[in-house]
Structure 1
Amino acid sequence: MDVLLSAIALIVLAPALVAIALSIWATSAGPIVFYQTREGFNGKPIKVYKFRTMYTDRCDISGIAQTASEDNRITSIGRFLRRKSLDELPQLFNILKGEMSLIGPRPHVFGMLAGGTTYERLVPYYTTRQTMKPGLSGWAQANGLRGPTDNAAQALARVDHDLAYIENFSLLLDIKIIWKTLRQEFLSGTGL
């Protein structure tokens, strides 16, 4: 289902993907799409694709230096793409390749900080979230738990939501998450 839906989405969204790519190319120097190495299924490294939203000379390719709301590294078009979560659309190719799913715990970069320490240190059961393929969206994101993880309680809540999803996943829950993601991210623009 993931492969079929991601292929359909790529075909339907092709004009928008081209428009986004052209707007990035026209407004700042650097690659249109980049990748970060992130934690995949069972902790295996995967290259997660994203539209570039930062100035090339200011970005942190490792992803450990998280983005803040008024971050001067973000381009003008990048701010819009992040607000609408359109920068994540190239991950449809990760889904098509079988590395990710439409819904699942979001893939983190290795060594990601949460509350001033690594996730592994903050949450002893953190790696349990890697027992499922990472997703383009997830239960945590559908419930507003996205953005910077400098708050330890919010970071812990994010992992707990991921684990709740893994324990209760179903087609109905996936449909609910897809609907909430579309409504919150693409329509209202709550992304960072």
Structure 2
Amino acid sequence: MNNLKKALSLFGIFLLTQCASTSPPQTTTAGGGNARVREEVAGSKDNSTLENGCPLDKMQWLYASDKFDSVQQNSLADTLSKAAKADAATLDRMMANRNNNPLEASSSLKILVEKFAQSRVPVSEEFYKQYASSRMAMCAVMDALRSGSIKQDESTKVAGNTFREVAKSFEKLRKE
């Protein structure tokens, strides 16, 4: 009886680890509201806009490793920070022009991450965790914007602040 319990426990753990390591789907049917998925129809949409997904959505290109290049990581942190600042400036201009739909904005950060997703980059565990944390926060804001749970007149400001916070988080990761 103890062997049966052990076998069932091991099988349960195996199932849980498989579920946790399974990647979320990257496509969905039209009308999906999740920020982490988007319809992939070639040429039908500008995938750089915020309405087509969270800028930091993709993570498969990063992996934590003890063998990472600190110069490359610093450069990556700078690049991500600059792209997030550029997006914040775009959103500030939209707010000044009274355009309260930040999801219409083309995202430099999203374009950059899409480009980086074509390769694999080793980074420190701290960098990886910060990216994951920033990703969760940013994608939650994008989901809230899509669902309308953020007031229309505040949406551009909230999105801009999110990009500024992401920029700051990557600036802090830069090691001298």
The answer to whether TM tops 0.5 is no
Choose between structure 1 and 2: higher helix proportion. Answer: 2
* Structure possessing the higher radius of gyration over alpha carbons: 2
Indicate the structure whose relative CO is greater, using CA pairs within 8 Å and at least 6 residues apart: 2
Choose between structure 1 and 2: higher strand proportion. Answer: 1
